Amino acid sequence: MKENDKVVMYIGSESKIQPIRPDPIISDYKVVLYKQRMQPHYAVEALVEGFNVLIADFYSSGLAVLNELKKIINEKFPDSSFDSQRHARNTYRELSNRLLLKIRNHKLIIRKAPEIGWLKILYPELDDFLLPFPQIQGLNSSWQWYVNGIFVPVLRQKIFPWYGTYFPTRFEHIELFESWLKEYKGKKETAIDIGIGSGILTFQMLKHGFGSICGTDSNPNAIIGLQQHIEKHQLQSKINLKFGDMFANCDSVSELVAFNPPWLPALYNPDGLDSAIYYDADLFPRFFSEAAKHLIKGGRLAVIFSNLAQITNHETEHPIEKELLSGGRFIKERFMDKQVRPGSKKTRRKLDRHSAERVELWILKPIGEV
Q: Is 318 helix (H, G, I), strand (E, B) or coil?
A: coil
Query: Given 3.40.640.10, 3.30.70.1060, 3.40.50.150, 2.170.120.12, which CATH number is that of 150-366?
Result: 3.40.50.150
CA–CA dist 191, 121 (Å, integer): 32
Predicted confidence (pLDDT) per residue in 303-328, tens digit: 999 988 788 776 788 999 999 999 89
pLDDT band at 355 (very low <50, low <70, confident <90, very high): low
Predicted confidence (pLDDT) per residue in 77-106, tens digit: 887 777 778 788 889 999 999 999 999 999
Kindly tell me the sign of the dihedral angle through the C-alpha atoms of 64, 70, 74, 80.
Answer: negative
DSSP label of 339: E
Is the pLDDT assigned to residue 224 strictly greater than 90? yes
* Average pLDDT of every residue of the chain: 88
The pLDDT of residue 347 is 44
The residue extents of the domains of the chain are 3-146, 150-366
One DSSP character per residue, 270-339 reads --GGGGGTEE-TTHHHHHHHHHTTSEEEEEEEEEEEESHHHHH-TT---HHHHHHHHTSSEEEEEEEEEE
CA–CA dist 279, 151 (Å, integer): 27
Pairing between β-strand 107-108 and β-strand 150-152 as defined by DSSP bridges: unpaired
The pLDDT of residue 70 is 93
| Segments of 20-122 assigned E as strands | 32-34, 53-55, 99-104, 107-108
pTM, full prediction: 0.86
DSSP label of 341: P
The pLDDT of residue 133 is 97
Predicted confidence (pLDDT) per residue in 161-177, tens digit: 999 999 998 899 999 99
| Terminal Cα distance for the chain, rounded | 59
Is the pLDDT assigned to residue 126 strictly greater than 90? yes
Query: What is the rounded average pLDDT of the residues 239-266?
Result: 90
